[in-house]
Amino acid sequence: MGNAMTEKPVVASPRVMCVPPTQLESVLAKFAGKTLGVLAYSAVRPWVPGGELPVARVTLPVVGGGVWYEVWTSSHPAVLGRDSGISFSCDGSLLFGSLELDDADSGQLEGKAFAVYSTIFSLLDRMGYPELLRVWNYFPRINDAGHGMERYREFNIGRHEAFCSKGRAIGDGLVPAACALGTPQGTFSICFLAGRVPGIYIENPRQTNAYRYPGDFGPRSPTFSRGVLVGDALLVSGTASVVGSKTMHPGDVLRQLDETIENLRVVVAQARARGFATRDPGGLCLNVYLRHAADHALVHGRLDAEFSGARIIYLQADVCRTDLMLEIEAFWMPIS
């Protein structure tokens, strides 16, 4: 699978189903040959059927226990492949890939992030899917000190330098939606969605664009946009209680939640101004990352009321800033 596809690029729309273990095998059977990949969340490394499918096994506890799965699918047949340690599937319009590095909590994270992103960009260029649309990053001890700085800042340096070394411009309408969360242990797990044509990248006027954060947030700013439209699907990055570039309401989870909800509202409004039309809450999935699982009792009622009809999963994770108590990412698409 080393040659780029040559058919005319089209704008495709991914779909995601958020399912418990009891539904996983039936969903995979229903979309056999059209499954792009799976994200599996659990406190212990979860089992996923499917053999060669791209899978991100994320060792984050599901609040309340158990395992939770996101199954990403296409309306077209997907071809599976493996190249340079990346498992991937592609359907002629979208490419979904996953990669794991062992012992991510030893050695210098900057170099690991640079290597991972450089490898991804090389694969996308070879395969003819040059547009990196959405990335999920999970690695241990995100807030710990590494080689003289916080590990998240190390990661940002490596990611930024990979963009630059591979000739990827960093600016408005050019960088993917993304999240970066800390796991208690395990591997550096990354998965990504790429396309043959660009998405429509969304920013939030309440917030400084992440790639323009001032230097007090590290030697290199985080390289992501606030969201992206891929066809008729809206993929919203990890969103938190940040206005401008400042963390709001440290220590108050409910006020941080309200600020986060307002940021989500603004991103959706910006997406609607760019053509996003879906309104059925049944097509909305939220991943809520809580620094402290005990905050679930305070948070879930507010979110259930705000997003009635959405599928919401709560995960315990370290958020990229130590003064942030939660982060929410969203996937909103029509119900197929």
pLDDT per residue as tens digits for the range 26-75: 999 999 999 999 999 999 887 787 678 999 999 999 999 999 999 999 99
In 159-307, at which residue ranges do the beta strands (DSSP E only) sit?
A: 177-183, 188-195, 200-202, 227-230, 233-239, 242-243, 246-247, 284-290
Confirm whether 120 is domain-assigned.
yes
The predicted model gives 162-171 an average pLDDT of: 96
Spatial contact of 100 and 183, defined as CB atoms under 8 Å apart: no
- For CA atoms 183, 306, 239, 331, give the dihedral sign: positive
Range of the domain at 107: 15-332
Q: How many domains does the chain have?
A: 1
What pTM was estimated for this model as a whole?
A: 0.95
Confirm whether 3 is domain-assigned.
no
Q: Is residue 145 pLDDT above 90, yes or no?
A: no
Confirm whether 5 is domain-assigned.
no
Catalytic residue, chosen from 70, 100, 327, 329, is 327
Confirm whether 297 is domain-assigned.
yes
CATH of the domain at 202: 3.30.1330.40
First-residue to last-residue Cα distance in the chain = 30
Confirm whether 6 is domain-assigned.
no
CA 217 to chain centre: 21
Per-residue pLDDT of 68-109, as tens digits, reads 999 999 999 999 999 999 999 999 999 999 999 875 445 689
To the query of whether residue 327 is one of the catalytic residues in this protein, the response is: yes
Confirm whether 2 is domain-assigned.
no
Confirm whether 100 is domain-assigned.
yes
C-alpha atoms less than 13 angstroms from C-alpha of 82 in its C-beta half-sphere: 9
Give the Cα separation of 294 and 192 in Å (integer): 30
In 209-268, at which residue ranges do the beta strands (DSSP E only) sit?
A: 227-230, 233-239, 242-243, 246-247
> At 38, which amino acid appears?
V
Confirm whether 10 is domain-assigned.
no
> Two tokens at 255?
């006020």
